[in-house]
């Protein structure tokens, strides 16, 4: 099943997260700093996705449907990075160096690694590799979204934080196939797609992990004695969550030669989420 262009909706949401505890992931220090790292990695990553796909807009211009989907994809990612960046102010009020880590991540991942990959491979192959990494990371966001919307693997979260993460997750499902379709349309090959996924997997978890460790190491309020128990609890919660098996299977599906994101039947998860929470979004003046 594929998705109709009009079902990839750019919702101009405006979350107003207030009065949350520093350890808002159920009091768990490691879990809270894991989500904090996502708030940094997502927006910088989304800007990379947008520029990687934009380079190919001219090449796909004859496919009007795909161009329209790409524009909606760019629209959705633009709102995502704005909403996650709003969270940086909340983190800094809690003495968490959000912008410091964002600066490091941006310099290391994009000013250094991205630029050097394009320089090393040459513009044509480098741009294709950047698109294959984008396609891979879009698959990652879709499988994490599937896990989160099917059965949340996390603890209880403050309502607005949960809605922010689930709104993002649902839109990731809506546009999960767009970059993949662009990649295929512009002649992206299988070995480059696999190499993009290998590189994306390493970089994604390195920068999420480094962010989490940086925030824990610089957290003056975190009790060291509580850390081992929190870390263990965090790992057990993730490792034993009901979603983990299907998320791992979905990840490896990407390595199949004939894989397409639409073979994972999960558009309904997004649709049901927005149906169920229509009134929450209406209060923001947004048609879900």
**Contact positions toward Fe ion, by CB under 5 A?**
77, 80, 141, 172
CB of 223: closest distance to Fe ion in angstroms? 34
CB of 249: closest distance to Fe ion in angstroms? 21
Token pair 């649902």 in the structure block, residue = 170
| Positive or negative torsion for Cα 13, 276, 28, 107 | negative
CB of 186: closest distance to Fe ion in angstroms? 18
CA distance 100 to 19: 23
Task: Kindly tell me which of 23 and 154 has the beta carbon lying closer to Fe ion.
Answer: 154
Token pair 């299988």 in the structure block, residue = 190
Q: Label residues 5-28 b or e (16+ Cβ within 10 Å = b).
A: eeebbbbebeeebeebebbbbbeb
Task: Kindly tell me which of 172 and 219 has the beta carbon lying closer to Fe ion.
Answer: 172
- Residues shown for the chain: 288
Task: Kindly tell me which of 25 and 143 has the beta carbon lying closer to Fe ion.
Answer: 143
CA distance 134 to 107: 18
Task: Kindly tell me which of 129 and 167 has the beta carbon lying closer to Fe ion.
Answer: 167
Q: Residue 224, Cα to own-chain centre: how many angstroms?
A: 30
Residues 194, 61 contacting (CB under 8 angstroms): no
DSSP string of 42-66, one letter each residue: HHHHHHHHHHHHHTTTTTTTT-HHH
Token pair 């894989």 in the structure block, residue = 259
Report which residue's Cβ sits closest to Fe ion.
80
Task: Kindly tell me which of 80 and 264 has the beta carbon lying closer to Fe ion.
Answer: 80
Task: Kindly tell me which of 32 and 141 has the beta carbon lying closer to Fe ion.
Answer: 141
Residue 224: left if φ>0, alpha if ψ -120 to 50, beta else—which one?
alpha
Task: Kindly tell me which of 31 and 261 has the beta carbon lying closer to Fe ion.
Answer: 261
CB of 178: closest distance to Fe ion in angstroms? 8
CB of 93: closest distance to Fe ion in angstroms? 24
Task: Kindly tell me which of 44 and 77 has the beta carbon lying closer to Fe ion.
Answer: 77
CB of 73: closest distance to Fe ion in angstroms? 7
CA distance 264 to 273: 17
Q: Which two tokens stand for residue 31?
A: 């879990």
Please name which of 87, 114, 116, 115 lies closest in space to residue 102, comparing C-alpha atoms.
87
CB of 21: closest distance to Fe ion in angstroms? 26
CB of 269: closest distance to Fe ion in angstroms? 15
């Amino acid at each position: 099943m594929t998705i109709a262009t009009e079902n990839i909706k750019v919702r101009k949401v405006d979350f107003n997260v207030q009065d949350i505890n520093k350890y808002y992931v159920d009091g768990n220090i490691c879990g809270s700093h894991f989500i904090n790292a996502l708030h940094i990695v997502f927006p910088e990553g989304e800007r990379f996705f947008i520029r990687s796909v934009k380079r190919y807009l001219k090449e796909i211009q004859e496919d009007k449907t795909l161009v329209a989907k790409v524009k909606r994809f760019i629209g959705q990612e633009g709102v995502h990075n704005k909403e996650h960046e709003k969270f940086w102010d909340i983190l800094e009020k809690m003495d968490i160096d959000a912008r410091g880590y964002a600066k490091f991540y941006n310099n290391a991942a994009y000013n250094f690694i991205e630029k050097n990959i394009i320089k090393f491979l040459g513009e044509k192959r480098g741009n294709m590799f950047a698109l294959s990494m984008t396609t891979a990371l879009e698959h990652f966001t879709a499988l994490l979204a599937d896990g989160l919307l099917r059965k949340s693997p996390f603890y209880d979260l403050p309502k607005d934080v949960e809605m922010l993460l689930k709104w993002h997750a649902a839109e990731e499902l809506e546009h999960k196939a767009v970059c993949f379709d662009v990649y295929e349309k512009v002649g992206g090959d299988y070995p480059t797609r696999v190499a993009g996924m290998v590189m994306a997997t390493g970089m994604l978890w390195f920068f999420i992990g480094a962010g989490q460790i940086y925030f824990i190491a610089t957290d003056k309020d975190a009790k060291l004695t509580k850390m081992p128990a929190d870390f263990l609890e965090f790992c057990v919660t993730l490792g034993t969550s009901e979603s983990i098996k299907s998320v791992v299977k979905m990840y490896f599906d990407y390595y199949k030669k004939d894989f397409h994101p639409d073979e994972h039947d999960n558009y309904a998860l997004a649709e049901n989420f927005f149906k169920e929470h229509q009134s929450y979004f209406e209060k923001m003046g947004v048609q879900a």
